[in-house]
Amino acid sequence: MKCSDILYPPGSSRLNPTVATSLFLILFSTQITLTAPFSYLPAMVLSFGYSDRQRGFYAGIIASSLFVGRFFGGYFWGWLTDKIGRRPVLLLSSTLVLLATLAFGFSTTFEVAVLTRFLQGLFNGVIVCGRAAFAEICDETNQAIGVSLVFAAWNSAIVFGPAVGGFLAEPVKKYPSTFKDSGFFARFPFVLPSLLVVGVLLMAIIMIFFTFKETKPPPSIATKEDSEKIPLLSHQKNTSPESTSPNEESRFYIEDQQIRVSYIIKQEEDGCFKKLCSKIKKWSLYELITDKTVMLVTMMFGMSGFCIIGFSELSSLWMATNSKYGGLNFSTDKIGTALLVPAIVSVIIQPIVFGRFEKRFGGIKTLQLSLLILAIFTFFFPFIHYTIKSRKLLWSLLITTGMVRMIADISSRSALALFINNSVYPEQAGRVNGFAFSVQEIMRVASPTMFGALFSWAIDSQQHQIIFPIDYRLPFLIIAIVIFGILVLTLLLPLSINAAKAVKDSPESLRPTEVGNISTASASSSFMEHNRT
């Protein structure tokens, strides 16, 4: 039995290992540039001269600037990758992220940190382009595996990024025997993790350059309709030279020219209006926001992102909270262990579980089951507080609950990402991913502040003997309700969302005006089939 047999369900075709590896590595390396500062951001704010009481506020601004940048850049990168292709955007975006990451490591003031963190988010179009590229190298039998690999790259970055940042930040203080006090790293205490991350990203860029070939299918060739051609003149058709005199022929000729000129003028007037309407309708964003399925899936994806960031903020905050307020009174190393162990297990198990469930039950049912499990485990997560007197039971429940919840979480996001790609034709994959990415990021901006403030208010109200749910469990309850709302919205999804829209079914590729159009559609299908192998 091969190792690949564990990952791929029976009957699934294999992804090209070189292409899949290069995409996974570029996704992982660009995402780790975003997650590495999570662990040392509070220390960085202190190095800017702010007090311990102020660092939470200023660290929040730096963190939010990343999501603001991702919001503004998301749709642009999606539009650009549909215009010029996946490969150039992967190379351009990752190179810009590399430069912004290096600049962030050299930040010595709050303003520079905010600007460079914003640029990291703005330049990061790899996640948008990577999703579209993964969709194009997959077929219906392995698309679930492709989407799972995208989120496996993200979750691997979540696991290793903060660890790298925490281990390498401020090396002069942590390893005085190795680094000199007056050296380069004393002046720039946070550049070392950036240098390591930049090195990994540079290797990924080189691998993409040499091994990754363009996956974007060629555009369909649009031809003019026969009805738009200027008709032959009826007078010349129905009149023979023998039956007309020279005067009559001259009169017919003048009338024919008048008809021809009038027709051309009318066609130009109608054409300008039609072209304007056509351009508006074919405008990328207009097409997306007027598509009910695209908007439904995008809204669900945004709500999912809102819950993900909210729970990430809450879980650490709740574990660090004093036990008398319902928390676990954990130190930073215990919080890291509680988050790290479930994440490592989930990254390994989730692609295997999701691929088999999606193949057997379909994407919609897999999403519904994942959301149901996610809502239940999110609601009961803070109840682990009641086992605080039993250390073994506490850690067993914390790791088990966290692992099951994370697998359900990643599976739900994988299904939604799959539906985003399936909601449009392949030539729109970049734009729809960029649009969904932007919507998700703007909802992520509000989530940490909202749930952090709500948790503080809830435990403050708890001191006044207000009973459940107005206590430390209230924010978790709200997140569970939002997740259940996403579950209800799945009932509106069409069954066709389970499968990708084929290029040959695209309206532009089915025009019956010329045989060449059918050939173009066939060529597009062959092109995609070539990419999968």
- What is the tens place of the pLDDT at every residue in 515-526? 344 343 444 444
User: CATH 1.20.1250.20 residue ranges in the chain?
Assistant: 14-215, 285-500
Q: Give the confidence band of 510 by pLDDT, cuts at 50, 70, 90.
A: very low
Helix-helix angle 391-422:363-380, to 10 degrees? 150
CATH architecture assigned to 14-215: Up-down Bundle (1.20)
Q: Give the confidence band of 26 by pLDDT, cuts at 50, 70, 90.
A: very high
Alpha-carbon distance of 481 to 354, in angstroms, equals 24
Among the residue ranges 14-18, 119-123, 403-407, the one predicted with the least confidence is: 14-18
Report yes or no: 381 and 401 within 8 Å, Cβ to Cβ.
yes
Which of 42, 311, 20, 328 lies closest to 165, judged by CA?
42
Average pLDDT (288-312) is 88
What's the pLDDT score for residue 140?
76
Domain 285-500 homologous superfamily, CATH: MFS general substrate transporter like domains (1.20.1250.20)
The segment with the largest mean pLDDT, out of 1-5, 43-47, 121-125, 308-312, is: 121-125
Backbone dihedral region of 506: left (phi > 0), alpha (psi from -120 to 50 degrees) or beta?
Answer: beta
Asked whether residue 228 carries a pLDDT value surpassing 60, the answer given is no
Q: Give the confidence band of 280 by pLDDT, cuts at 50, 70, 90.
A: very low
The segment with the largest mean pLDDT, out of 148-152, 418-422, 447-451, is: 418-422
What's the pLDDT score for residue 381?
94
Structure tokens at 485: 């709302």
Alpha-carbon distance of 264 to 457, in angstroms, equals 71
Q: What pTM was computed for the model?
A: 0.67
Alpha-carbon distance of 199 to 34, in angstroms, equals 15
Cα-Cα end-to-end distance for the chain: 22
Structure tokens at 359: 């193949």
Which of 43, 321, 85, 316 lies closest to 172, judged by CA?
43
Question: Regarding predicted confidence, which is higher, 173 or 239?
Answer: 173
Q: What's the per-residue H, E or C state across 308-367?
A: HHHHHHHHHHHHHCCHHHCCCCCCHHHHHHHHHHHHHHHHHHHHHHHHHHHHHHCHHHHH
Average pLDDT (175-181) is 78
Residue 47 exposure: Cα atoms within 13 Å on the Cβ side: 20
Q: Give the confidence band of 455 by pLDDT, cuts at 50, 70, 90.
A: confident
312-354 pLDDT per residue, tens = 878 877 887 888 888 898 875 677 778 778 888 888 888 888 8
Alpha-carbon distance of 501 to 499, in angstroms, equals 7
With a pLDDT cut of 90, the percent of the chain lying above it is: 27
Alpha-carbon distance of 502 to 90, in angstroms, equals 24
Structure tokens at 429: 């994959």
How high is the mean pLDDT of the chain? 79
Longest Cα separation, the chain: 114
